[in-house]
Structure 1
Amino acid sequence: MNCLVLGGTGFIGKHLCKRLAEENHNVRILGRKKIEFDNIFYDNKFEFVQQDFLQIDDFSNLLDGIDIVFHLISTTIPSTSEIDCVFDISSNVISTLKLLKACVKMKIKKIVFISSGGTVYGIPVQLPIPEEHPTNPICSYGIQKLTIENYLYYYFMQYGLDYTILRLSNPYGTGQYINKNQGVIPIFIDKLMKNETLNIWGDGKIIRDYIYIDDAINGIISTINYTGKYKIFNIGSGEGMTLLEVVDSISEILGCKYNINYLDARKIDVPVNVLDVSRAEDNLLWKGRVTFEEAINSIKLLC
């Protein structure tokens, strides 16, 4: 299959592109900066298009010959989305609308959108959170993700553009960019191994669902041939850990002591977020398989 990966040079994107290549798909990658993969096998499998997603007015040429689009690009993260909500919405939603228009024109078979299971639901009224849960995001990042989800439904109803939405929990793993201030687990590992103080917003008791990158990629790959009735799936571990539990576990595995600097709690942080992943397990035939301890040991070996 001919695949376009928007954001293929990012953390999730690099892992996804490798898997697609290993499964003999043709992969076109859009990214602002061309990067090198681990070996010549991967470099020879990819077609790079070095361009800024925000600067593209007509995606037709990029979509030429493509069967399926994986949309991983976001210009913001939850913490930065609050700085400029106008930019958050305009850069993500408007650019995606241009993409969807071109997808219809170029007769794309499917678009797979990586949404945010950690932000679109808002403060939960039940746990674990199923896909039917009310969506009341309390940060701009969640609002723009949900808006794009709604436009995908619109384009499906109006033009027949097929789509799958994956509401991903908090992915972590090897190759994560700690300098982008996203992904507490690799940041904690890096700081613990350097004997540096950890910064935590609030009291450390907020609960999150963390998923190892290999399991997340398996979830994305499982959508390629899916033709069932559901359009939205949660992809996560289905289990919650407080930040303090995360720190304690990593510290024990690495054999490191730690110091914490507690910062003021942020209004964008919901108290708990744990995803119900039974729909994905039943319909995508996907299941998370890597335990937290196995994942941390894997990351540790590559640090």
Structure 2
Amino acid sequence: MRCLVLGGNGFIGTHLVRALKLAGVRPRVLDRAGSLRGEEQSGVEYLFGDFSDPSIVAEALIDVDVVAHLVSTTVPGSASADPISDISGNLIGSVKFLEQMRLSGVRRIVYLSSGGTVYGNTEEESLHEESATNPISSYGTVKLAVEKYLGVYGSQYGVRATILRVSNPYGPNSRHIGLQGVIPTFFSRLIEKQPIRIWGTGENIRDYIYISDLSNAILKAIEQDKPGVYNVGSGIGISIKEIIDIVSEVSSIRPEIEFLPDRPFDVKRVVLDVSKFSKTFDWAPTVELHEGCRMYWHWLNGPG
């Protein structure tokens, strides 16, 4: 099996490519930039260019069995600051890519959506795949729109899409420090001896997943052709304040806290019900949050 990984040099992509190789799946990477640590993995094909460019995409899709779409040209903050760029880069870019898939005869795709933003604010303790989707940010709205276009290409052209609504990943090689990713940003601020900034009161609740658990989940979705929409996360909610306590415990550093105003695009509570994915793909998260933070802190302070 050959898998084209869009965004294969990013945080999630590098871990997924490594997992694909170990599983005997042949990975091909299409990315706009080089690898995060300046290294290319052996046995991997690398192509460089934009995933919405028909010429490079046509080449990238040759002899491909399944696509893993990990690309996002924005994070929630930058998407809200410039929604037109978010729409152009992510929605239009993804539809262009789907059209090229249709022309190339590739009919399987695993798409990473956002479990943290597509549902919006809700009173539900735990969100399942049939929960209402009312995103309050451009980022979540565009992710949901891509999901809908995957449905269009499924009904009209037979594209089989496995949509993974992923919670907040963290772990080695985390990207977007300061822009996205509470855990990597907090640890980074500690290393830089800077105060930790909290938007709002710190009561917002999120679901966090360690990168090895996430890459294993994506691998299973690639290996097993089971289209549908699935939540992927830890299934456990924890507040920003509790994250600070864990970060402090793991690092043995009590950080200075700086509170900033609420951001209007931040959802108050997101905890994912992951039972559907767990049962369908025989998967479960294995890395508990404290342990994941310890491993990440050790990596941050290790050689290289």
TM range (shorter): over 0.9
Q: Is the 8 A contact 2:52 2:96 kept in 1?
A: no
Matched, 1:233 2:234: no
The 5 A counterparts of 1:1-303 are: 1-35=1-35, 43-56=41-54, 59-179=57-177, 181-228=179-226, 231-303=228-300
Offset of residue 52 of structure 1: 2.3
Distance 1:178 1:115, change over 3 A: closer
Q: Which moved more, 1:78-87 or 1:163-172?
A: 78-87
Offset of residue 180 of structure 1: 5.5
Which amino acid is 1:216 matched to? Answer: L
Q: Is the 8 A contact 1:58 1:99 kept in 2?
A: no
Distance in structure 2 (CA, Å) of the matches to 1:188 and 1:243: 10
Percent identity reads: 39
Distance 1:44 1:57, change over 3 A: closer
Q: Is the 8 A contact 2:5 2:17 kept in 1?
A: yes
Distance in structure 2 (CA, Å) of the matches to 1:256 and 1:178: 23
Distance in structure 1 (CA, Å) of the matches to 2:43 and 2:225: 27
Offset of residue 225 of structure 1: 3.2
Q: Is the 8 A contact 1:34 1:48 kept in 2?
A: no
TM-score by length of 1: 0.94
Distance in structure 2 (CA, Å) of the matches to 1:154 and 1:178: 32
Which amino acid is 1:217 matched to? Answer: S
Distance in structure 2 (CA, Å) of the matches to 1:194 and 1:37: 20
Offset of residue 109 of structure 1: 3.6
Distance in structure 2 (CA, Å) of the matches to 1:37 and 1:85: 30
SS at match of 2:81: coil
SS at match of 2:169: strand
Distance in structure 2 (CA, Å) of the matches to 1:241 and 1:190: 20
TM-score by length of 2: 0.94
SS at match of 1:104: helix
Q: Is the 8 A contact 1:37 1:43 kept in 2?
A: no
Distance in structure 2 (CA, Å) of the matches to 1:279 and 1:153: 19
Distance in structure 2 (CA, Å) of the matches to 1:202 and 1:221: 36
Which amino acid is 1:9 matched to? Answer: N
Which amino acid is 1:234 matched to? Answer: N
**Equivalenced residues, count:** 300
Q: Is the 8 A contact 1:59 1:102 kept in 2?
A: yes
Distance in structure 2 (CA, Å) of the matches to 1:87 and 1:264: 25
Q: Is the 8 A contact 1:193 1:256 kept in 2?
A: no
Per-residue Cα deviation, 1:204-258 (whole angstroms, up to 9, x for no partner): 1100001100111111011123344x50000001011110100011101211111
Offset of residue 31 of structure 1: 1.1
Q: Unpaired runs of 5+ in structure 1?
A: none
Offset of residue 194 of structure 1: 3.6
